[in-house]
Structure 1
Amino acid sequence: MPSNRRAEQADEVTLRRAADAWFLDHGLPAVLRPGALVRRVWPRSAPALAAFAVFMLFSALVVQVTGKHTIDIDGQPTRTEWFVLALLILVLPAAGVTGWLVSRITSVRRRTVAATVSLVVAVAGGIVGGPGPRVIGDLIFEAVVVAIILAATACGAGSILGWTVGMTLSHLAAAGSLVIRALPVLLLTFLVFFNSPVWLMAAKISRQRLWLALVFLSLIAATFVVSVTVDRFRPLMQTQGLLDGREAQLDSTPFEAMPDPPDSLPLRRVEQLNVMFVLAVSQLAHIFVVAVVTALIFLVLGLIVLSPEVLAAWTQHGSSDGTILGMTIPVPEALIQVTLFLGALTFMYVSAKSVGDSAYRAQFLDPLTDDLRLTLVARDRYRAYVSAR
């Protein structure tokens, strides 16, 4: 009998941990019981640590190639500086792919090893060639970043971010259709792009004031999306309707053997906030992708059409070099500023257009609604199962 009891307890612990992992994978950490989020923080942080290690590795490579801890490229780049520019373009995709590959590791032991190796690589990169000239300062910077990663994992923010990225990548078709339907705004913003007063403003305004303007415009769009999302999904959260025969989607999940409770369990306030945050962020992430693609189109267009004479005429002899993230690169500062501004305008336009876009709703919002229904049923089963133990 004692051995049977121990086996049952072991099976129960395994089932709970599998259910916890399922909710984390679906971006709903608020559903978990107290204390579950702080377990296995180190292996769960492995994807973010791996991505950070790639950044530090690229930083060390840049320092070794250039012999400097800063990137300052004036005028025509040399062969070495072209190599550095290529590294700058590749570092973000490389970090993303590395984090994604590590996230696919299911073994806790292997994830622990991956997290430890990533930390070692990051520390080595900071010592060999961190972002600053002082090793102590670089190590302190790394310690702060690692602490932020662990804290975000422990509070569930990493789970929400990972689910949002996965949802965005899995529904790129919806984002692509938004890009196509955003072509009218491209035609409209052409009038802004080929407008010398806009270029003069971009050349004269400080980057701090520009960021304030971008944040202001983005907050307006985000507020609109959030308010519409709350109105659209609040009835679903209140009713927690049945899946109409789609409960079979929970087969082969930890909730397969958990019975449905007699009545739906009302969502707690923190769970409601978690659901609304995930829904809003997933939509804003799609819209952000469209805005970034549009901004890149104008950036490339500017690099094609801008000549020293045109730049001088539009900006009253503005600088042919620009700064981004503290790095000086051979791209006009005015072009960088105009690109950011047009990206913010596109973000606002697509935010408003996506609300009433039937194709976008069918390609993205309807699957998102189905996923939410499934998650709420799993949540009811999980809460009933935990309360009965």
Structure 2
Amino acid sequence: MGDRDTEHWLRLNGLPYFVRPDARARHLLPRTAPFLVFAVAIDVLSSFVLEVDIDPDSASVGDWGWALVALALVVAVPVVPSVLAVATARVLRSRTRAKTPVALVALVLYLVVDPLYFGLVAHENPVASVAQNAGVVVAALAATWMGVGALLSWALRAALRQFGALGQLATRALPILMLVVVFAFFARALWEVTGSMSASRLLGVAVFFLVLGLLFTVPIMRRELSALDGGDEATGPPLSRLERFNLAVVMVLAQAFQVAIFAALVCVFLVVLGRLAFSDEVLNLWLGANAGNAEVLGIELPVRTGMLKTAVFLSCVSSLNFLVSVSTAAAYRASFYDPLLDQARSALAVRAAYRDESQAH
């Protein structure tokens, strides 16, 4: 395997800092092209959704029918651009000669076509739009050079690959957890507190639980990784601080994505339960002035803002509880840590061969 193939393998496996510093800028624009396609698609699709006028009182659609239409539009905004970005990345990987043309097309679409589209449709200043998009391109190129995309994409894939094992562990933790969460969900005092929270305050609560999760997770990851770097022939020269940081980050991110998926499922479960269990009279009584419906991209959802805030708050609480429960279980180590550590050992062997080949040249 040549240097470029090895560097591609390292990035694909979430280890961009194992690549030599002088090679990190190689094919920088083609590597950024999937993000540019995502940016163009989400700009166009979100502007289209904002123009859609849905009448929740329409008798021809009905309450649940309107809810499904609204949900489909809201879900399509991130999903469709993500699918297009993944398809672009696959084309660039499978067709080497298409890298530069596809990347240039994506760059022109984002820097020229996107501003012109919004100038014609939304009557925005195209010059200002070009300047704003140019700033985004520069930031995207810098993030790609730093390996942010490689870290996030690998961690998300790892979390999804091991989601089945996570589901098995969740069935053990869920009964008691759901009993506590559902009991709290039916407490009026909690609704009054969360319903009065501003979006920034609720975000602060989520960040607080995120920090607590990191304080619990990072020491475990450092302990798991401490035995990997032996500095022998199999692993090559000792890892630098940046390479150690890279290994730790990918493992923390993989677990963070798993917990985030679990939290999202809990949130959806509570929203559905709330829609089924609470009448409008009860919600109006409990929420008072905060009894309005939530809005996403200008679309009014058939979900009270207070209900959504309560569900988000409880999903944060349950995700931290779930993280502590599964991380101390032997079954979770076998299904999560062991495969990641085996992959890390393989990566160290690839790194050793890559460094030997680079020194030979």
Q: Are the aligned partners of 2:271 and 2:308 in contact in 1 as well (CA < 8 Å)?
A: yes
CA–CA separation in structure 1 for the residues paired with 2:190 and 2:55: 24
CA–CA separation in structure 1 for the residues paired with 2:228 and 2:129: 48
CA–CA separation in structure 2 for the residues paired with 1:270 and 1:97: 32
CA–CA separation in structure 1 for the residues paired with 2:177 and 2:207: 20
CA–CA separation in structure 2 for the residues paired with 1:228 and 1:325: 39
The verdict on how the C-alpha distance between 1:124 and 1:290 changes in structure 2, with shifts beyond 3 A counting, is: same
CA–CA separation in structure 2 for the residues paired with 1:227 and 1:375: 22
Q: Are the aligned partners of 1:50 and 1:95 in contact in 2 as well (CA < 8 Å)?
A: yes
Aligned counterpart, 2:73: 87
Between Structure 1 and Structure 2, the one with more helix by share is: 2
Q: CA deviation at 1:133?
A: 5.9
Aligned counterpart, 1:99: 85
In the alignment, does 2:172 pair up with 1:181? yes
Identify unmatched segments of 5+ residues in structure 1.
Answer: 1-13, 67-72, 242-260
Where 2:276 maps in the other structure, the secondary structure is helix
Q: What TM-score does the superposition give when structure 2 sets the normalisation length?
A: 0.87
Q: What TM-score does the superposition give when structure 1 sets the normalisation length?
A: 0.81
CA–CA separation in structure 2 for the residues paired with 1:298 and 1:149: 36
Aligned counterpart, 1:59: 46
In the alignment, does 2:262 pair up with 1:290? yes
Question: Percent identity, aligned pairs only?
Answer: 29
Where 1:27 maps in the other structure, the secondary structure is coil
The verdict on how the C-alpha distance between 1:338 and 1:127 changes in structure 2, with shifts beyond 3 A counting, is: farther
CA RMSD across the alignment: 2.8
Aligned residue type for 1:100: V
The verdict on how the C-alpha distance between 1:262 and 1:342 changes in structure 2, with shifts beyond 3 A counting, is: closer
Q: Are the aligned partners of 1:193 and 1:338 in contact in 2 as well (CA < 8 Å)?
A: yes
Identify unmatched segments of 5+ residues in structure 2.
Answer: none
- Of residues 209, 216, 229, the one that matches 2:201 is 209
Aligned residue type for 1:194: F
CA–CA separation in structure 2 for the residues paired with 1:182 and 1:76: 41
Q: Are the aligned partners of 1:102 and 1:111 in contact in 2 as well (CA < 8 Å)?
A: no
Aligned counterpart, 2:35: 48
CA–CA separation in structure 2 for the residues paired with 1:336 and 1:125: 33
CA–CA separation in structure 1 for the residues paired with 2:98 and 2:82: 19
Residues 58-116 of structure 1, C-alpha deviations (whole Å, 9 max, x = no match): 124235545xxxxxx79647969865552212222222222222222222332434334
User: Where in structure 2 are the equivalents of 1:1-389 lying within 5 Å?
Assistant: 15-63=2-50, 65-66=52-53, 76=57, 83=69, 85-105=71-91, 106=93, 107-122=95-110, 124-129=113-118, 134-136=124-126, 137-183=128-174, 184-237=176-229, 239=230, 261=233, 264-324=236-296, 328-389=300-361
Where 1:331 maps in the other structure, the secondary structure is strand
Residues 340-359 of structure 1, C-alpha deviations (whole Å, 9 max, x = no match): 10121122112111211222
Q: Give the length in aligned residue pairs.
A: 350
Q: Are the aligned partners of 1:58 and 1:87 in contact in 2 as well (CA < 8 Å)?
A: no
